[in-house]
Structure 1
């Protein structure tokens, strides 16, 4: 029996055992609070109490900054992200509009140059006819005068694109002829005889916009005049209402 116990204990002693490693304590970089010292015990070249006081002040300042940062930073970050997303979408939309505008302008210039070539007279005649037909279709809901008017506008528009010089000359001659007939009708309405001094209608000089900036300025001026007229009409109506109210009270 003793022999078995001795053999068993010897076998157990031969089995290697592994013990848990003791955790390595990290050296703290934070300075420790120095103990109280007498005046005679204070070091000459070191100031542990002053260094510890500065450490406490810097730690409190860091905690204060971190608190403000934790409160303000999420809102600032959210606003900044929303602004960045809005700016990105705006830039993308602006680039898309610019690309579409440049593409449309290039295609329009290519079509205009193609229609103005001397070798494409048949195509230009067909384009002018299509312009007149398009204007006629737009004027189908009106009477014969509206149809002729819209067809003339479509024909003149396409003629100005395909035959610019010829269209200007025709428009100039037709304008002079129209002014002549208008003056004749004006004198006829007022009973002016052929031998008497003729009355003449003064036509305003109309200038078509040459570029987009002139068209924009013309539109702005038109809306300003319209808004002023509307404001004056409102003022007149309000004055009339006030006068009527005072009259009723009296």
Structure 2
């Protein structure tokens, strides 16, 4: 209670002095100080703005929203798997090119022989369900394919020789099948084409 009296005796005259100072400025205009202009009062807070009403989504909108979210999630996962697969393929491609360059070096005879054997075994394994001829053909194709990868220059030379010999023997077989005794003439003809 004594504090209130003390505060009233100190602050009320101070407020009057402030009002008089303001009044001097406003007295020139002929206005007096209002009670709301006193430093004791705090301005009123602005009224709260009403929030706009949010319409509740319908059943159909909820369904489309759920489908859209699932499709977005699936597309993100697919793109992530695609990136991983592309990275894996690129890495495998780089590794295969490095291995092929290593095998094509001239001083690597032991790795080349190992690669040719592995190619032959792969062909043999792929031909296991067949009989002897199928296994032999598959094993030969695997070994020859790997040898062609290891020795590309020699493979192109030998393939040209093999094509020429195959043409010669195809001509001989054709003449034999149709009863021609002109096998020597066909052989001479192929020799002239060379």
Q: TM-score range by the shorter chain?
A: 0.5 to 0.7
Q: Describe the shift of the 1:196–1:163 C-alpha distance in structure 2 as closer, same or farther (beyond 3 A).
A: closer
Q: Secondary structure at the match of 1:172?
A: helix
- Normalising by structure 2, what TM-score? 0.61
Q: Describe the shift of the 1:177–1:148 C-alpha distance in structure 2 as closer, same or farther (beyond 3 A).
A: farther
2:142 is the counterpart of 1:154:
yes
CA RMSD of aligned residues (A): 2.9
**5+ residue gaps in structure 2?**
1-45, 187-194
2:116 is the counterpart of 1:135:
no
**5+ residue gaps in structure 1?**
1-25, 31-61, 199-250
2:157 is the counterpart of 1:174:
no
1:67-121 deviation digits (Å, cap 9, x = unpaired): 4x52265334323211210111111111121011112111111111111112212
1:152-197 deviation digits (Å, cap 9, x = unpaired): 2112210121111111211221122122112211110100112797
Higher relative contact order (CA 8 A, sep 6+): 2
Q: State how many pairs are aligned.
A: 140
Q: Secondary structure at the match of 2:107?
A: helix
Q: Describe the shift of the 1:73–1:113 C-alpha distance in structure 2 as closer, same or farther (beyond 3 A).
A: same
Which aligned segments of 4 or more residues in structure 1 are displaced greater than 3 angstroms? Answer: 26-30, 195-198
| Rg (Cα) greater in structure | 2
1:122-177 deviation digits (Å, cap 9, x = unpaired): 21122113322332333343333323321221122101211111112112211221
